[in-house]
Amino acid sequence: MTTPSTQMLLDPGMDLTLRPMRYPQFFDRFKDAIKNTWTVEEVDLHSDLADLAKLSPAEQHLVSRLVAFFATGDTIVSNNLVLNLYQHVNSPEGRLYLSRQLFEEAVHVQFYLNLLDTYVPDADDRAAAFSAVDNIPSIARKAEFCFKWIDSIYSLRTLSSKADRRAFLLNVICFAACIEGLFFYGAFAYVYFLRSRGVLHGLASGTNWVFRDESMHMAFAFDVVDTVRKEEPDLFDAEMEQQVRDMLSEAVECEVQFAADLLEQGVSGMSLADMREYLQHVADRRLQVLGIEPIYHSKNPFAFMELQDVQELSNFFERRVSAYQVGVTGSVSFDDDF
Amino acid sequence: MQVRKRNGDLETVDVNKIVKAVERWVADLREIDPLRVATKTISGLYDGATTAELDKLSIQTAAELIGEEPQYSRLAARLLATYVDKEVRLQGVASFSQSIRYAHQQGLIGDETAEFVARNARKLDDAIDVDGDLRFEYFGLRTVADRYLLRHPQTREVVETPQYWLLRVACGLSQTPAEAIGFYRLMSSLAYLPSSPTLFNSGTRHTQMSSCFLVDSPKDELDSIYERYHQVAKLSKFSGGIGIAWSRVRGRNALIRGTNGKSNGIVPFLKTLDAGVAAVNQGGRRKGAACVYLEPWHPDVEEFLELRDNTGEDSRRTHNLNLANWIPDEFMRRVEADEEWSLIDPSDAPELPDLFGAEFDEAYKAAEKKAVKKVKARDLYGRMMRTLAQTGNGWMTFKDRSNALSNQTGVPGNTIHLSNLCTEILEVNSDDETAVCNLGSINLGAHTTAEGGVDWEKLRATVRTAVVFLDRVIDINYYPSDQAARSNPRWRPVGLGLMGLQDAFFTLRLPFDSDAARELSTRVQEEIFLTALESSVGLAEQFGAHPAYAETRAANGDLHPELWGADLGQPERWTALKERIAEHGLRNSLLIAIAPTATIASIAGCYECIEPQVSNLFKRETMSGEFLQINTYLVRELKARGLWTGPVREQIKRAEGSVQGLAELPADVRELFRTAWELPQKALIELAAARAPYIDQSQSLNLFLSAPTIGKLSSMYLYAWKAGLKTSYYLRSRPATRIQQATVSIAPVEAVACSLENPESCEACQ
């Protein structure tokens, strides 16, 4: 084995040197993320209030549960990032990306804070929504799952043994595949369902930006896993595969019981059976990315999800166009190709 | 599974019943599988849903299959039409005239239209085309149903069907039933549609039918600024889009004599305007919208360019206003020559906004000694480019060219001070005259066949009808402000536009950037302009020239193509036309403007105005929801080649609507189906410049760069200026990264490791 401090992505070691750069792809992700900068003030929640009043009680229940989950979800991810990921990713360019991610999670928290303040005018109701982790069982169950995996490596100061390194990988995979990749993607489906029906534009446009960020977080985490796989292939054994599969099965269960709560009163166009199939399908996809056999072989039943896979075109006078970049570079010249 | 019927009874859901409801509509749609729609609908249902929910869900379900088979769009539209029809009938409305009477009772329809329809009820009822709704695509009909059909004030149920709506619009503008029926048939065929305000308001109690208002800059005083807020609010309330100049208002730190204080500049005032625009929502149908125009010599121009940034102090940001630069040639010349540019306070040179061409140059140079600040012209130009790249806003519009070629600037003192919300209208205005324009667009796709090419006779007939009804709006229109009411009868401008140019190119298999495409687009535009002018002379013969005719360039015998210096395609017709103009004058000072047509192109089911397709597969986001849009010309092509398969669809989706990677397609087919992102933007500018001699106002020209840089942008806009374009519109670009695709299959792990951005570090490629 070569010296970990200079050759490996995972600690031990504290690499502070950006040149020569060992993982330029992490740096590129950092730069791309900056171009996606958005602020909460850009999201116009005006028309959402009128829409909320028009929704059926069943749909209102769905929305209130959903935002209650959002209110705490990103905070949990931030905590894991600081307490676990940042410590053990031994690459300054990787930590640049993680710093950026931390900023983005903070913006997301601010967005959902703003959203709840707007959606839930009553102070007591609002307090209840913010403490969903304690008083809404379907959300508490998901939070417990997250805490279990945060705690699993919290006491590790360095990843000295193979067991430590595997434990760390499981944490990364859990947050990428299960929390950002399944819990958030489940939430994504509800938002997409609502926006495909033309309601809650504010929620939709803010969440669209959130998901654009989340997609990058997940891709970064999987990139970390792939990099470690190349550097230390022997970490990925049958036992770990099984652990990942078990982890995803449990995550699917958590999310299905959440769906049962959300859809409890009957929402036309989104049945619990379809939602379960969707979640299984997403879980299979996460396994496939990790090179692991799928569990469920389920198909995506939600055709409206296709809408998120194609370019958007907004009428500027109806929607704020979200397809612009910040941080454009270059200087004035007159003979560039265009 | 059970559903609750309208009378409250529960009933078991029956697949066969849904299948039957679908089968009723699919006689001409061979690719539809009714059972699939039925089973998918039921799988999304919950126990105890209402039958109305079931109906809505079946529409939604059909719409969601459009990505696999575009014919489902027609099916969804027809199911929706049935739904709407039922809603209207259940209120006891069985005919067009009944719908008008009912809506009149509810206070929705104007007295004159109600009387006109009552007088001619039989003829008009018989004119309804019962198959008219079959022509709609789903997205178009959904838009109509959600926003154009009149609704009962209390129940919010629609009180007219789509065909009743179009006939109502026609009746609101007609003097005889024959005229109304002719105009209705043209609109119902989707070959021509007036702009949204006309479609919203014709025949109603508030007949504000104009799209655009161009408000001159407030004077450099508080009363005038607050008068403008009031005017903008009134215009916005009745669906108008607003352009407003702000160049006359003094900049930051300029002295205010009355109080001996210093001005805070224009930004706080624009912040107030921003809030005002957001507060007025156009009757709930769309958000109010305004664009502020500023000349680049204004001392606050740098802060102006930051108004749409998403960082910085929010009190200096305007999230709702659009921004445009109103640029004199002198600025562009100094950019090119890399010279200095002076920022001058309007209180020191109040004449500048009213001057253009050589007179402006002279006055500007004289005022430079009073400059507040000097900057490098290129630095400021670079900031303009940055604003465009980061926000799409800060449109580049050219003051001198816009004025020099305008028919309205025939005598000194008449100046165009700005363009409008969509940069296609160029009309003179002043402190007490707000320019107004009402618009309509011809669907070129509906005038083109693969075998016959463009049907020129049909095109001329459409133009003739369109001009009559655009002109008619001027007299019937309700003007929300006195300034608007003063200007429009004097100048009588209209804006006849074009949409579906891309449809015509696809039909005729012309790549967008080919010589043949440019030639066709130019010929079409010349034909439209010529015919429109001929129609306007005809109207002048009947009703007289417009009152300000003597102030126009046409009165001196100068027409737009000559002012441009174009090579005429039909010189004899132009000569004959000029003789008639010399005799009768023109009824309208301006006739042609190519508007963006976002909404009406959706209704007509064609591509927007003169734009290339943005993608072969994309979604539209509107207030009605999200809609998958697929290039049906491409689907037809792929089907003919046996290539419309799951894997090919996925490949297109993965490539975000590009077919350039589809090796199975021959090169010429791939060339035809390039997207706006894949076309050289130079070609878009050249097409626009080639047709521009035949557009007496301007065109909403969007440009597309996936990954803009300051270098590319500065080259592109300099080229557009040199090509002689009067205005340009949005810069469209794409986000740096996208949301992870959820419905395409996962690439194998090895491929994920490949990073094309970092070939040197990528093991997979080595």
Q: Give the DSSP per-residue string, B637-703.
A: HHHHTT--SHHHHHHHHHTTT--TT-TTS-HHHHHHT--TTTS-HHHHHHHHHHHGGG-SS-B---E
Q: Is the pLDDT of residue A42 over 50?
A: yes
Q: pLDDT exceeding 90 applies to what percent of chain A?
A: 70
Q: In chain B, positions 653-692, which contact chain A (CB-CB < 8 Å)?
A: 653, 656-657, 680-682
Q: Is residue A16 part of a domain?
A: no
Q: Is the CB of B44 less than 8 angstroms away from the CB of A41?
A: no
Give strand ranges (E) for B417-576. 435-443, 448-449, 453-454, 494-499
Specify if A60 maps to a domain.
Answer: yes
Contact A338 B48 (CB under 8 A): no
The 10s digit of each residue's pLDDT in B407-459 is: 999 999 999 999 999 999 999 999 999 999 999 999 999 999 999 999 999 99
Q: Which residues of A touch B389 (CB under 8 A)?
A: 324-325, 328
The mean per-residue pLDDT over the stretch B378-397 comes to 95
Say yes or no: B375 contacts chain A, CB-CB below 8 A: no
pLDDT of A121 > 50? The answer is: yes
Per the CB < 8 A criterion, the answer to whether A169 and A234 are in contact is no
Q: What is the mean pLDDT of residues B370-376?
A: 97
Confirm whether A20 is domain-assigned: no
The Cα of B723 is separated from the nearest Cα of chain A by a number of Å equal to 14
Confidence band, pLDDT 50/70/90 cuts, at residue A315: low
B contact test, residue of A62, A315, A322, A336 with most B CBs within 10 A:
A315
Q: Give the residue from A268, A278, A284, A297 with the most B CB atoms within 10 Å of its CB, the best one to mutate.
A: A268
A242-257 pLDDT tens trace: 999 999 999 999 999 9
B721–chain A nearest CA distance, Å: 12
Percentage helix, strand, coil for chain B under 3-state DSSP, each rounded to 5: 50, 15, 40
Parent domain of A161: 56-326
Please state, in angstroms and as integers, the Cα–Cα distance from residue B713 to each residue in A328, B19, B129, B566, following that order: 11, 54, 49, 27
Q: Which residue has the higher pLDDT, B582 or A36?
A: B582
**B266: nearest Cα among B345, B368, B371, B354:** B345
From the list A25, A42, A195, the residue facing B755 with the nearest CB is: A25
Contact B618, B677 (CB under 8 A): no
Cα angle B148-B154-B159, degrees, rounded to a multiple of 5: 40
Nearest to B506 by CA among B617, B628, B638, B607: B607
> Residue B1's pLDDT is what?
87
* pLDDT-wise least confident of A114-123, B460-469, B599-608, B672-681: A114-123
The answer to whether the beta carbons of residues A245 and A284 sit under 8 Å apart is: no
Residues B430 and B413: their CA atoms lie apart, in Å, by 10
* pLDDT at position B753: 33
Residue B759, pLDDT above cutoff 50 = no
From A319, A332, A336, residue closest to B378, measured CB to CB: A332
* Residue A280 within a domain: yes
pLDDT value of position B10:
94
Question: How far does the CA of residue A43 sit from the closest CA of chain B (Å)?
Answer: 9
Contacts of A336 in chain B (CB under 8 A): 709, 711-712, 714-716
Q: Which tokens sit at B48?
A: 């105890």
Residues of A in contact with B311 (CB under 8 A): 37, 39, 326
CA B37 to CA B26: how far, in whole Å?
A: 12
Sign of the alpha-carbon torsion through B518, B521, B524, B528? negative
Give the position of tokens 């804070």.
Answer: A113
Contact (Cβ atoms closer than 8 angstroms) between residue B334 and residue B361:
no
Judge: B319–A44 Cβ closer than 8 Å, yes or no.
Answer: yes
For residue A183, what are its two tokens?
Answer: 């819990």
Which one, of A317, A173, A196, lies nearest residue A248 by Cα?
A173
Ranking B108-122, B478-492, B739-753 by mean pLDDT, the lowest is B739-753
CA distance B614 to chain A (A): 8
Long-range contacts made by residues A58-64, C-beta under 8 angstroms, separation at least 24?
A58/A263, A58/A264, A58/A265, A58/A266, A58/A267, A59/A194, A59/A267, A61/A262, A61/A264, A61/A265, A62/A190, A62/A262, A62/A263, A62/A267, A63/A119, A63/A194, A63/A200, A63/A203, A64/A119, A64/A120, A64/A129
CA-CA-CA-CA dihedral for B29, B32, B33, B34, to nearest 10 = -60
Closest chain A CA to residue B739: A212
Q: A317: which chain B residues are within 8 Å (Cβ-Cβ)?
A: 241, 286-287, 289, 421
- CB contact at 8 A, A178 and A251: yes
Which of A46, A309, A329 shows the shortest C-beta gap to B653?
A: A309
The Cα–Cα gap between B738 and B372 comes to 44
Q: Is residue A30 part of a domain?
A: no
pLDDT in tens, B299-345: 999 999 999 987 788 889 998 899 999 999 999 999 999 999 999 99
CB contact under 8 A, B709 and A230: no
**pLDDT given at position B757:** 35
pLDDT of residue B766: 32
Answer yes or no: is pLDDT of B623 > 90.
Answer: no
* Mean pLDDT score, A142-152: 94
Q: What is the pLDDT of residue A26?
A: 96
Neighbouring residues of B126: CB distance < 8 A, sequence distance ≥ 6: none
Could you tell me if B738 lies within 8 Å of chain A, comparing CB atoms?
yes
Band of residue B614 on the pLDDT scale cut at 50, 70, 90: very high
Q: What SS3 class is residue B256?
A: strand
List B192's β-bridge partners, or say none.
B442
Quick check: A290 and B749 in contact, CB under 8 A? yes
Cβ contact, residue pair A332, B44, below 8 Å: no
Query: How many Å separate Cα A108 from the centre of its chain?
Result: 10
Q: Is the pLDDT of residue A316 over 70?
A: no
Average predicted confidence (pLDDT) for chain B:
93
B39 touches chain A (CB under 8 A): no
Q: How far is it, in rounded angstroms, from Cα A249 to Cα B542?
A: 80
**Mean pLDDT, residues A216-240:** 95
- Please indicate whether, in this complex, the C-beta atoms of A328 and B708 are within 8 angstroms of each other: yes
User: Which is more confidently placed, B311 or A80?
Assistant: A80
CB-based contacts of B567, cutoff 8 Å, min separation 6: none
Q: Do B737 and A212 touch (CB under 8 A)?
A: yes
Q: How far apart are the first and last CA of chain A?
A: 50
Interchain contact, B656 vs A35, CB within 8 Å: no
* A101 neighbourhood in chain B, CB within 8 Å: none
Residue B182 contacts A, CB cutoff 8 Å: no
> What is the band of B761 on the pLDDT scale with cuts at 50, 70, 90?
very low
Confidence of residue B764 (pLDDT cuts 50, 70, 90): very low
Phi, psi of B727 (to 5 degrees): -145, 160
Whether residues A267 and B46 touch (CB distance < 8 A) is answered with yes
Tell me how close the Cα of B444 comes to any Cα of chain A, in angstroms: 21
Angle at B214 between CA B210 and CA B215, to 5 degrees: 125
Tell me which chain A residues have a C-beta less than 8 angstroms from the C-beta of B384. Answer: none
Vertex A326: Cα angle to A323 and A329 (nearest 5):
120
A12: preceding bond cis by omega (within 30 degrees): yes
Burial class (CB in 10 A: 0-12, 13-18, 19+), B284: exposed
Report phi then psi at B293, rounded to 5: -105, 135
pTM of the entire predicted model: 0.90
pLDDT at A2: 41
B311 has a chain A CB within 8 A of its CB: yes
Q: Which of B49, B241, B710 sits opposite A266 (nearest CB)?
A: B49
Considering only CA atoms, which of B61, B63, B70 is closest in space to residue B31? Answer: B70
- Are A330 and B709 inside 8 Å of each other by CB? yes
Q: Looking at the partner chain, which of A197, A307, A334 has a beta carbon nearest the beta carbon of B714?
A: A334
What are the tens digits of pLDDT across the range A1-25? 344 445 689 988 888 889 889 999 9
Q: Which residues of A touch B653 (CB under 8 A)?
A: 306, 309-310
Chains A, B: CB contacts within 8 A come to 261
State the pLDDT at residue B38.
94
Give the best residue of A49, A111, A288, A309 to mutate against chain B (max B CB count within 10 A): A309
- B489 phi and psi, to 5 degrees? -65, -25
Structure tokens at B525: 């535009």
Structural domains in chain A (count): 1
Tokens encoding A275: 């939602």
- ipTM of the modeled complex: 0.83
Active site residues of B: 420, 422, 424
Residues of A noted as catalytic: 112
Q: Taking a C-beta distance cutoff of 8 angstroms, is the pair B713, B389 a contact?
A: yes
- Domain-located, residue A48: no
Q: Which of B289, B619, B752 sits opposite A317 (nearest CB)?
A: B289
Residue in B290, B287, B276, B151 with CA at minimum distance from that of residue A47: B287
Closest CB to A336: pick one of B712, B733, B761.
B712
Burial A11-43 (b: 16+ CB within 10 A, else e): bebebeeeeeebbbbbbebbebbebbbbbbebb
**Looking at the predicted structure, is the pLDDT value of residue B619 above 60?**
yes
A257/chain B closest Cα distance in angstroms: 17
How far is Cα B563 from Cα B140, in angstroms, rounded to an integer? Answer: 39
From the list B44, B390, B752, the residue facing A328 with the nearest CB is B390
CA distances from A193 to A256, B519, B620 (A): 17, 45, 15
Q: Which residues contact A274 (CB under 8 A, 6 or more apart)?
A: A301, A302, B43, B44
Q: In this structure, are strands B395-398 and B322-327 parallel, antiparallel, or unpaired?
A: parallel
Q: Where residue B748 falls among pLDDT bands split at 50, 70, 90? A: very low
CA dist., res. B174 & res. B203, Å (int)? 10
To the nearest whole Å, the CA of A254 is away from the closest chain B CA by 20
* pLDDT tens digit sequence for B521-565: 999 999 999 999 999 999 999 999 999 999 999 999 999 999 999
The confidence score (pLDDT) of residue A322 equals 57
Residues in chain A: 338
Top pLDDT among A42 and B609 is at B609
Residues 6+ apart with CB under 8 A from B688: B610, B699, B701, B723, B725
- Order of strands across the sheet that contains B49-50: B10-12, B2-4, B49-50
Going by pLDDT thresholds of 50, 70 and 90, the confidence category of residue B750 is very low
pLDDT(A318) > 60: no
Whether B389 and chain A come into contact, CB under 8 Å, resolves to: yes
Cβ-defined contact of B65 to A291 (cutoff 8 Å): no
Q: Is residue A293 part of a domain?
A: yes
CB contact under 8 A, B382 and A331: yes
Identify the pLDDT of residue B113.
Answer: 98
Contact state of A196 with B626 under an 8 Å Cβ cutoff: yes
Phi and psi for B471 in degrees, rounded to 5? Answer: -65, -40
How much of chain B exceeds pLDDT 70, in percent?
97
Secondary structure (3-state) at B176 = coil
Q: Residue A114's domain is classified under what CATH number? A: 1.10.620.20
Percent of chain B with pLDDT over 90: 87
Q: Is residue A202 part of a domain?
A: yes
Q: Do A25 and B761 touch (CB under 8 A)?
A: yes
Q: How far is CA B504 from CA A51, B209, B463, B606, B612, in A?
A: 39, 29, 17, 10, 11
Chain-centroid distance, C-alpha B602: 10
